[in-house]
A = this chain, B = another copy of it.
Amino acid sequence: MSVRPRFQRVVIAGLGLLGGSLALALKQRSLAGRVVAWGRDLSRLRPAVPAGLVDEVSVDVSAARGADLVVLCATAAQYEQQLRQLAGAAPAGCLVTDVASVKGASVARWHKAAGPLRFVASHPMAGGEKTGWRNAKAGLFEGAACLMTPLPRTDRSAVLAVGTLWQDLGMDVALCSPEEHDRLVGLVSHLPHAAAFALAAATARLGSSEDFQWAGKGWFDTTRVAASDPSLWAGIFLHHPRRMERSLALVEAELGRLRALLKAGKRPALEAWLERAAAFRRSTEKGGK
């Protein structure tokens, strides 16, 4: 029995870890007829065809002709320009979504740039510290959360279609405003990343790489995301620097509190502080995490 795939021609704009994993997942679940990677560097895109990720690659926006879905997977800074190009190439009404970790005021700009295309902002909360399509995994999205941030004016059927796509990839989908998205993701993702970078930076001043042949899961887990792409994360942190500054100051304050407790040497007070932190961490656990 042959089932017509949900999308006939999907354009992935930016074939990195997320774009590549999306391509693999769409293929594996027979959700797309043809998957096309649109990017800037043909020599880096080309091997993705024999690697089985995509059916064709292009550095020309004309690749979006006849597309019924475009997913923006490059860095958010490129979206506005890409959307303007796509608006002149893809069919009017073509669904467009994205994978950016930052939303806020950008979403309204993206909507405007998308013109007659049906844009819906998405943030599939999957990824990893290893970048590039060669690290792509078909299962990257499975079981992870996806926050969609439609505006009041966003086409309702487009929200449904894009939401169904992420669900088809195994994601838990929810809707919220772009502003609530940034508060939430700033807290549950950006702040842990920033703290991990700071821990790695401090540790580099205290010891050598050789010392870490004795490191266990504690070090590797706590700092895993500090190996993430600096350029991507600079963009994310600078999307809402004031919020990040306030949150980072609170982490500094808690480190200072811990230092004061160690200085005072009062074990019950120290244990109580540790217990509050541990209790909060435990309270955030879901099944399987």
Contacts and interface: CB of A to CB of B under 8 A. Distances in A.
Interface of A: 125-128, 144-145, 147, 174, 184-185, 187-189, 191-207, 209, 211-231, 233-235, 237-238, 241, 244-245, 247-259, 262-263, 265, 267, 270-271, 273-278, 280-286, 289
Contact of A251 (B198, B213, B215, B267): B198
Nearest to A145: B214
Contact of A206 (B187, B217, B221, B259): B187
A276 B197 CA distance: 9
Nearest to A144: B216
Contact of A199 (B192, B231, B270): B192
6 closest Cβ pairs, A-B complex: A212-B284, A230-B274, A204-B280, A188-B215, A192-B222, A209-B283
Contacts of A212: 188, 283-284, 286
6 contacts: A193-B222, A201-B257, A202-B251, A221-B221, A241-B262, A248-B259
A281 B200 contact: yes
A253 B184 contact: no
A2 to B, nearest CB: 36
B184 A219 contact: no
A220 to B, nearest CB: 5
B207 A277 contact: no
Contacts of A251: 198-199, 202, 255
Contact of A270 (B209, B234, B267, B274): B234
Nearest to A194: B258
A89 to B, nearest CB: 30
B250 A216 contact: no
B280 A262 contact: no
Given A270-B234, A277-B201, A195 B213 contact: no
A270 B205 contact: no
A187 to B, nearest CB: 5
A217 to B, nearest CB: 8
A249 B241 contact: no
